Amino acid sequence: MEKIWVIIIAISIFLIITLIYWKFTRETINTKYGKIYKIWGARTFYWQSAIYTITGITFLILVILKWTDILTF
C-alpha cells in the first residue's frame, strides 16, 4: 500500500511540474517557432525536451524527499 502512495505522489509531482513548465515556456516557444510550431516536428522536439527535463526534476525532488525521510520506499 505504501508503494502505491509513492507512485501517486511521483505522478502528481510530474504533472504539476509539467503544468508549471508549460505555463512558463509556451509563449517563448510560440514566438520562437511561430507558424512552424503547428508542424508536429517542432512540437515533438519541444515535448521531448520537456519530458526529459521534467523527469529529471521529478527524480531530483523524489531523491530529496527520500533523503529527508519524508518518503520511505
Q: Distance between CA atoms of 43 and 63, rounded to whole angstroms?
A: 30
Residue 66's CB: how many other CB atoms inside 10 A?
13
Q: Distance between CA atoms of 50 and 39, rounded to whole angstroms?
A: 17
For residue 1, pLDDT over 70 is answered with: no
What does DSSP assign to residue 71? S
For residue 70, pLDDT over 70 is answered with: yes
Q: What is the pLDDT of residue 25?
A: 92
Q: Which residue has the higher pLDDT, 11 or 73?
A: 11
For residue range 17-67, what is the model confidence (pLDDT) as tens digits? 999 999 999 898 888 888 887 888 878 888 999 999 999 999 999 999 999
